Structure 1
Amino acid sequence: MSEERRLEVLRAIVEDYVTTREPVGSRMIADRHGLGVSSATIRNDMAVLEESGYITQPHTSAGRIPTDKGYRVFVDRLSRIKSLSSPEKRAIETFLSDAVDLDDVVTRAGRLLAQLTGQVAVVQYPSLRRSGLRHLELVPMGERRLLVVIITDTGRVEQRVLELAGTVDEVTLAELRVRLNVAAAGRRLADVTGALDVAVDALRPEDQDTARRVAALVVETLGEESEERIVLTGTANLAQAGMRFEHALRPVLEALEEQVVLLNLLTEMSADGQAGVAVRIGHETQLAGLQEASVVTSGYGAALGGPLGTGGAARDAVALVGSIGPTRMDYPGTIAAVRAVARYLSRILEA
């Protein structure tokens, strides 16, 4: 019983510290949380929690605040994620559905998440490597040049110019376009190579060289990682009183400017999400500038299953969306907002 009570005391400290941004004392817990024990008993529990490294005393005669270890236990033991209100859900759906293209979708998602959380939003562009091919267009640009337009199922449009060994007439080009689209449409990088090889082998020998060049270009483009990028929104929120960090703000801003490093962190987090959500707290980010920050992410894309507001793993998601704020953040609220935006992003991309 004492172990469960101590966890309740820890939960109370986290929730009160998030709300008040002030160290939490035993009397406040006894008065506000109805644990059914005296403040003296709560003080004893706090002493055990402090000795175990879950809370710390920032100043002599002050209350206690959670440590990274304490936040981790709190997050791991969340019994429920508070749901967004119906108006919030409708606002997300309406705002994102009005987007006109992928750039607009990504920008809107970032602005919306920053507004919902009051923190910094980060949205990763869909990865070409994890995207599927929706359509392939072949446009002649002279006798021996071909514009290859690759449209992915996540809305990305890539254009490449291909130099041909010889001329190709319109009839042959139309046949190549149809055959390659039938073979590769809806497939991701892991499957598209074999499908295109089969389609090329089935063509007339005189058409195979051109088709093989186009197929190689498609595979090369879908395999590119250099164009992956992220969009940060709501950086100005860092200056607000509610986003106050324990020490200097500058290291956080500098860490956010290093987008390659931030992208690497998102890539790492894509592997450790549970129920579609991953949380890195303070030192867990392994980035010096984010030691006082937490990052909450969720995958989005065609493979993200499950209805809005439920679990469901982000299986093979094409990219991540997330929120960055101080370790003293509203974890249930942030997780709910990130998950909701990720699921609506998935719906928009699938439409």
Structure 2
Amino acid sequence: MLTARQLLILKCIVEEFVETAEPVGSKTLMTKYQLPYSSATIRNEMSFLEEHGYLEKTHTSSGRVPSTDGYRFYVDTLMQPNVDDEVKNQVSMILGNRHRSLNEIIKESCQILSQLTHLTTVALGPNAIYEHLQNITLVPLSEHTVTAIIVTDKGHVENRNFNIKNNAYMEDLTSCVNVMNELLDGTPINQVAFRLERDVKPILSARIKEHEVLFNAFLEAFMKFANNNVYFSGKENLLYQPEYDDVNKLRRLVSAFENSQSWKSLEPIALEDGVTVRIGNDSPIQDLNDVSVISASFKTGNKSKGSISVIGPTRMPYERVVSLVEYISKSLEEVLVDYDDKDDE
């Protein structure tokens, strides 16, 4: 059990290191934070906190830095999350525009969180098992180009462009879309590929000359639809963190971003309610022990969930980031559940 003095010193060290990325010494604590203790007393308490695993001593300075356990203790015990009214108004104004699809709203929230934290954010949309195909619409882009817009009942949108060679090709494409709309309406997205092969392909092969090309194009679009529900924003923000001056560290981090499987442990169904803080080795990024991931889930309907997370160095402003992740996830849930209710009316 830490004393009030030890708690105060630990809190100041965490917040100073988060701000400066420099090891913290007793003189800084006395002058900047005006702690009412002697330099010798502060050094003794810092030694105690180091012995008990809350602080670490660097090789380059007599100062201390927080350990993983120190950050964990700070998150669980010392911080006081709060979101100011200006940020609340900003989030409310941005999310208040309802004339967008579900995935546009999630992407926008991802961007807001990245801008407010100056870190990287990742959002996982709802699992495709909860989405159903609503319709496919052909929209001309130019004289020789048409895009097929695929929409689900949750507002998720995917599109595929086609180069129109001649009138016959356009007729085949239209016929293909009509068959799919007739046979696949209401099909769960994760079952569309199977239904395409079983139900749609035989009809296309009998009616359409270039059925193989069109079939493969739509199959690829639906496969992408079912698997690609990971959105990133602010990847470049980590380039400016001193922790990632090391090229090898940065390379591993970028590799993790490129591999969406790295984020499967943040699958929204598995997330607990409230904010989850994963520090160091607990984070889903393997081989990097100085990364933290702060996540919260949000409902996108009666059964489906998504999640939104902030990724940054373990030296991140936990108080502010936890506050923002919690507030934005709750705001996002209110918008999306309301959005879902309106769709059901």
Q: TM-score, normalised by structure 1?
A: 0.66
Counterparts of 1:78-227 in structure 2 under 5 Å? 78-83=78-83, 85-98=84-97, 100-129=100-129, 131=130, 151-152=152-153, 154-156=154-156, 161=180, 226-227=226-227
Q: Is the 8 A contact 1:126 1:228 kept in 2?
A: no
Asked whether the 8 Å contact 1:245–1:292 carries over to 2, the reply is no
Counterparts of residues 53-92 of structure 1 (less than 5 Å)? 53-83=53-83, 85-92=84-91
Q: Partners of 2:49 and 2:61 in 1: how far apart?
A: 17
Q: Distance in 1 between matches of 2:68 and 2:5?
A: 20
C-alpha distance 246-30 of structure 1, shift in aligned 2 (>3 A): farther
The alpha-carbon deviation at position 283 of structure 1 amounts to 1.0
Shift of 1:245: 3.4
**Is the alpha carbon distance of 1:94 and 1:104 closer, same or farther for their aligned partners in structure 2, counting shifts above 3 Å?**
same
Which structure shows the higher helix fraction?
2
Aligned to 2:49: 49
Contact 2:126 2:300 in 1 (8 A): no
- Corresponding residue for residue 260 of structure 2: 259
Deviation at 1:124, TM superposition (A): 0.8
Q: Which of 280, 290, 295 is 1:282 aligned to?
A: 280
Do 1:255 and 1:289's aligned partners in 2 also have CA atoms closer than 8 Å? no
Matched, 1:36 2:46: no
Amino acid at match of 1:327: T
Q: Report deviation, 1:334.
A: 0.8
How many matched pairs?
267
Mapped to 1, the partners of 2:71 and 2:252 lie a distance apart of 21
Q: Percent identity?
A: 31
Q: How far 1:72 moved relative to its partner?
A: 0.7
User: Quick check: 18-27 or 104-113, which moved more?
Assistant: 104-113
What displacement does 1:14 show?
0.5
- Please give the per-residue CA displacement for 1:2-29, whole angstroms capped at 9, x wherever unaligned: 6332222111110000111110001211
Q: Distance in 1 between matches of 2:283 and 2:93?
A: 34
Amino acid corresponding to residue 341 of structure 1 in structure 2: I
Deviates more, 1:341-350 or 1:20-29: 341-350
- Code of the residue aligned with 2:324 in structure 1: it is A
* Cα deviation, residue 150, structure 1: 8.5
Give unpaired runs (5+ residues) of structure 2: 138-149, 159-176, 187-224, 340-345
Query: Among 267, 291, 296, which residue is 2:294 paired with?
Result: 296
Residue 56 of structure 1: how far off its partner (Å): 0.9
CA distance in 2, matches of 1:303, 1:35: 50
- CA distance in 2 between counterparts of 1:297 and 1:106 reads 14
Given that residues 21 and 242 in structure 2 are in contact (C-alpha distance below 8 angstroms), is that contact kept between their aligned partners in structure 1? no
Alpha-carbon distance in 2 for matches of 1:4, 1:246? 36
1:27-74: CA deviation from partner (whole Å, max 9, x where unpaired): 211223344322211111111111122111112542011111111111
* Residue pair 2:280, 2:314 contacting (<8 A) in 1 also: yes
Tell me the residue number matched to 1:330. Answer: 317
Q: Secondary structure at the match of 1:76?
A: helix
Contact 2:110 2:232 in 1 (8 A): yes
Contact 1:118 1:234 in 2 (8 A): yes
For the Cα contact (< 8 Å) 1:243–1:325, is it kept in 2? no
Q: Distance in 2 between matches of 1:2 and 1:76?
A: 14
Unpaired runs of 5+ in structure 1? 140-148, 165-176, 182-224, 305-315
Q: TM-score, normalised by structure 2?
A: 0.67
What CA deviation, in whole Å up to 9, does each residue of 1:137-176 have, x standing for no partner?
A: 899xxxxxxxxx9854x43479994897xxxxxxxxxxxx
* C-alpha contact 2:124 2:308 (8 A) present in aligned 1: yes
Rounded to whole Å, the distance in 2 between the matches of 1:54 and 1:232 is 32
Q: Give the alignment's Cα RMSD to 1 decimal.
A: 3.4
